[in-house]
Chains A and B, each alone.
Chain A
Amino acid sequence: EIVLTQSPGTLSLSPGERATLSCRASQSITNSQLAWYQQKPGQAPRLLIYGASSRATGIPDRFSGSGSGTDFTLAINRLEPEDFAVYYCQQYSSSPWTFGQGTRVEIK
C-alpha cells in the first residue's frame, strides 16, 4: 500500500498570500496518478487537480499542481477567503487507492 504523507499539518496564512502544500509518497506513483481535493466543514471533498497537474473543471487557475515520482506539490496563489479549508492528496496508480492525512490551511 502506498502511504501518502502531507506536510505541513497546518498552514497559517493571510488572504492574498501563497500556500505551498506537500505530498510525499512511500513509493513512486506511476503516470503521475495523483489528485488533490479541497474539503470544507460539513461538505464532501471537491476535486481540484488530477494527473498531478491538470485542473478539474471549474477550478480557478490560482490552484496549480506539480511533481512526479514520490514528491508532489499543490500551490495556491493569492489565497481567497474561500480557500481556507483542508486539502488532501490521493494516489490512484496502485490499489488500494490511498489518501494523505490532510493539510489544514487556516487564516492567520
Chain B
Amino acid sequence: QLQLQESGPGLVKPSETLSLTCTVSGGSISRSNYHWGWIRQPPGNGLECIGSVSYSGSTYYNPSLESRVTISRDTSKNQFSLKLSFVTAADTAVYYCARVGAGVVDWGQGTLVTVSS
C-alpha cells in the first residue's frame, strides 16, 4: 500500500524559504502515469494546488506561486521536495504531499507549517 510522509520544519520565519520533503513507500515515484504533488490548506480554509513533478521529472507549478516555488525529486531516495521562498504569514498552512493521477489519488497526513518570527 502506498504511503506518503511529509517532513520538515514546522516554523519558518517571514522572508525565509520553506522546505519540505515527501518520502514515498510502497511504490516508485518513477512509475509512469502519476505526478507527485504538493497541496496546501490554510487553517480553516480550502485547498490549493501548489505544483507537481511527473514520473519523468517534468514540473508544473500553479502560476500564482510559480515565481517562488521549486519542486524536485530524488529517485534514489524515492522522495520529492518542495521549496517555497520569501514566505509570509499567508503561507501558513497544512502542506500535503500527494500522488496525482485521475484526481489526487493518495495523500500524506499533512504537516502544519507556520510562518512567524
Contact = CB atoms under 8 A, between A and B. Distances in A.
Nearest to B94: A44
Q: What is the predominant secondary structure among interface residues of chain A facing chain B? A: loop
B62 interface: yes
Given A35-B104, A50-B102, A95 B60 contact: yes
A99 B47 contact: yes
Nearest to A95: B60
Contacts of A45: 47, 104, 107
A96 interface: yes
Interface in B83-107: 96, 100-105, 107
A49 B105 CA distance: 10
Interface residues of B, number: 19
A19 interface: no
Contact of B104 (A51, A90, A101, A102): A90
B105 A97 contact: no
B16 interface: no
Contacts of B107: 44-46
A47 B105 CA distance: 6
28 contacts: A1-B63, A33-B102, A35-B104, A37-B103, A44-B96, A47-B104, A49-B103, A50-B101, A50-B102, A50-B103, A51-B102, A56-B103, A56-B105, A88-B46, A90-B47, A90-B103, A90-B104, A92-B100, A95-B60, A95-B62, A96-B49, A96-B62, A96-B63, A97-B49, A99-B47, A100-B46, A101-B46, A102-B46
Interface of A: 1, 33, 35, 37, 43-47, 49-51, 54, 56, 88, 90, 92, 95-102
